[in-house]
Structure 1
């Protein structure tokens, strides 16, 4: 899936700042021209989709709705919830278009 450039910048910065995660470290190299992305299945880290309880064990940040956030807080007290700044919201609009 290709995301808007502005969303990628915000997401990459949040990953780096809060999760010490980068495309290089996670082996999720990205090219602006998605047609040029040739990724071999199984090369990126963290490709499995866990249960909610399993995700809570590895998850450290979210932008989930309030109800899901409350459940996650119980399962993962150290969780950090991502909230876009007013500037980021204005820049990316609804859905990052």
Structure 2
């Protein structure tokens, strides 16, 4: 899946800051033209299904649900877009 360029930049910055993860370190490739993304299976480091300790959750759940999740997973890192980012990206990150 190829996301809007702005979302990709925000995601890369967040990955680097909170997860110490970059495309180079993970051996993942990204090209804006998805037809040019030719990747051989097994070359990226993050292709395995993660354990529960390394799981990624994407949600737009209500605050009460995310608070419960934080109690269950105290080391959870949560990305919250700034009001400026929400205004720029609009609903769905277009």
TM-score w.r.t. length of structure 2? 0.79
1:88 pairs with one of 74, 85, 88: 85
| 1:64 to partner: Cα distance | 5.7
Residues 16-67 of structure 1: CA distance to partner in whole angstroms, max 9, x if unpaired?
Answer: 111111000011110111110000111112222347576xxxxxx9766546
Q: Does structure 2 conserve the Cα–Cα contact (< 8 Å) formed by 1:16 and 1:22?
A: yes
Q: What residue ranges of structure 1 are gaps of 5+ in the alignment?
A: 55-60
1:94, distance to aligned residue in structure 2 (A) = 0.7
> Mind listing any 5+ residue stretches in structure 2 that lack a counterpart?
none
